Amino acid sequence: MKVTMVGAGYVGLVSGACFAEFGVDVCVVDTDAAKVEALRAGRIPIYEPGLDRLVAENAADGRLTFTTNLAEAVRGADAVFLAVGTPTRRGDGHADLTYVFAAAEQVAKAAEGPLVLVTKSTVPVGTGRQVKEIVRRVRPEVEIDVASNPEFLREGSAIGDFMRPDRVVIGVESERALKVLKRLYRPLYLIETPVVATSIETAELIKYAANAFLAVKITFINQMADLCEKAGANVHDVARGMGLDGRIGRKFLHAGPGYGGSCFPKDTLALARTAQELGAPATIVEQTIAANEARKAQMAERVIAACGGSVAGKTIAIFGLTFKPETDDMRDAPSLVIIPNLVAAGARIRAYDPQPGHAREMLPAAVHYAESALGAAEGADALVLITEWNEFRAIAPEKLRRTMAGRVVCDLRNVWDPAAMRECGFEYSSIGRL
Ligand code: UDX
């Protein structure tokens, strides 16, 4: 089998390397020559645990190659995956499909024989149909079957998610496309991974529905956390008590500062827009988007209140900037709202993140960056934990207490034990727990 992956971004790289690991010949193509050059030299442009090793081993075995030449990459391919970006379109919240359509057209032009053109990028329902129209218009004489195969990769555990998925979703219109995709995922049959074979429209919608549902779930527990604080209850136990009901499930019930990342904010917005346009408004998703946005700003208010109503002139240490641990991704991270609001309120910020990625370009210039967690905490009046990297859990509260000048700790991820923190003398607050 030979596969072409169009786009060496997060999804394309992880999926390409994992297919190669399955024994498939994979060529990853990207227009960014510098990125391709770096990948050929074994340098991975993103931080994802295990990806460097997977790329190096499969590249050394000759199963994984990188190029800027799309026509060459498409030659002889059984399947071509589109894994290009679908950012939020400026102005209306829709997914911008420019890259998807351009890539589909180029693939069609380059196709020499039958192939399956698979959309892996997250695209609104109906995109597959539009891709099909492009392909028919450009190359009516070549047999190109269009398919949808959405990914459910979480940053930080993307390789495990690809290799041991809960399910594989395949949207097709032909037996041939189904056969090719099933063959590609054959190694997963050994671990009895369910395959949901369905229409292209349904596959496209499954992806959005799954992400939106998870975003709703997180927002629900965040609102319960607020209620717990008012009522004197503990959100951790509420989540556990709810989650043990098999119909609800325990995952994605961790209260926090609001969801961020490359998927949930963008996908909820795109789904809400599509639903509005098709006349079936997803009001629960619309409310989730608004509640999550508001929550990030409320987190800054919470810190200001914990500091006695003003942070003017105070030094605040920040632990964690990325939208979640084990990634260097800053997209839609809560820190991007919390920190500017604290700076605007007069705080001096000293931040630390183990993988700060593009944080410096995205945060106010006034932010100082420390080389370690304790370096950030040194002499600080208050500490705010925004992202739950494991290394923060390992810091002994006594040591933290000796390092900081002040006593205020706002733990926005419920990493520390409230009793232990208070015993140490901290004025400790967390989310949904007293
Ligand atoms: C998500 C989906 O999980 C994945 O299936 C999809 O393909 C892409 O989007 P990702 O964005 O990498 O993956 O991270 P995820 O672990 O889902 O977390 C998303 C956000 O929700 C993070 O900001 C995280 O901190 C937050 N979150 C998650 C919570 O606040 N509480 C939870 O219980 C779970």
- The count of other CB atoms within 10 Å of the CB of residue 287 is 13
pLDDT by residue (tens digit) across 250-295? Answer: 999 999 999 999 999 999 999 999 999 999 999 999 999 999 999 9
What are the structural domains of the chain?
A: 2-198 (3.40.50.720), 208-289 (1.10.1040.10), 295-429 (3.40.50.720)
410: annotated active-site residue: no
Annotated binding residues for NAD(+), as ranges?
A: 30, 35, 86, 122, 155, 266, 331
Complex ipTM tops 0.90:
yes
Residue 261 CA: nearest ligand 1 atom is 11
Distance from Cα 349 to the centre of ligand 1, integer Å: 26
Annotated binding residues, as ranges?
A: 30, 35, 86, 122, 152-155, 207, 252-256, 260, 266, 324, 331
3-state DSSP call for residue 26?
strand
Place of tokens 């509640």: 291
Which of 294, 295, 316 has the alpha carbon at shortest distance from 304? 316
Query: What pLDDT is stored for residue 301 in this prediction?
Result: 98
3-state DSSP call for residue 256?
coil
Query: What pLDDT is stored for residue 148 in this prediction?
Result: 98
Place of tokens 């679908």: 86
Interatomic CA distance for residues 383 and 351, integer angstroms? 10
| Length, in residues, of the chain | 434
Active-site pick, 18, 27, 228, 263: 263
Bridge partners for 351 per DSSP: 318, 369
Specify whether the CB–CB gap between 176 and 144 falls below 8 A. no
The model carries a pTM of 0.95
The angle, 0 to 180 degrees and rounded to 10, between the axes of the packed helices 98-110 and 127-138 is 30
Interatomic CA distance for residues 259 and 324, integer angstroms? 9
Per-residue pLDDT of the chain (434 residues; tens, 9 = 90+): 999 999 999 999 999 999 999 999 999 999 999 999 999 999 999 999 999 999 999 999 999 999 999 999 999 999 999 999 998 888 888 889 999 999 999 999 999 999 999 999 999 999 999 999 999 999 999 999 999 999 999 999 999 999 999 999 999 999 999 999 999 999 999 999 999 999 999 999 999 999 999 999 999 999 999 999 999 999 999 999 999 999 999 999 999 999 999 999 999 999 999 999 999 999 999 999 999 999 999 999 999 999 999 999 999 999 999 999 999 999 999 999 999 999 999 999 999 999 999 999 999 999 999 999 999 999 999 999 999 999 999 999 999 999 999 999 999 999 999 999 999 999 999 999 99
Distance from Cα 141 to the centre of ligand 1, integer Å: 43
Query: What pLDDT is stored for residue 158 in this prediction?
Result: 96
Pairing assessment for the beta strands 144-148 and 115-119 based on DSSP bridges: parallel
Residue 222 CA: nearest ligand 1 atom is 30
Query: What pLDDT is stored for residue 93 in this prediction?
Result: 82
Tokens of 305: 């209140």
Residue 267 CA: nearest ligand 1 atom is 9
Distance from Cα 220 to the centre of ligand 1, integer Å: 14
Backbone φ, ψ for residue 142 (5° rounding): -100, 140
pLDDT by residue (tens digit) across 394-432? Answer: 999 999 999 999 999 999 999 999 999 999 999 999 999
Which of 307, 310, 303, 374 has the alpha carbon at shortest distance from 339? 303
Query: What pLDDT is stored for residue 124 in this prediction?
Result: 92
Tokens of 125: 């329902």
- Closest CA to ligand 1's atom 13: 154
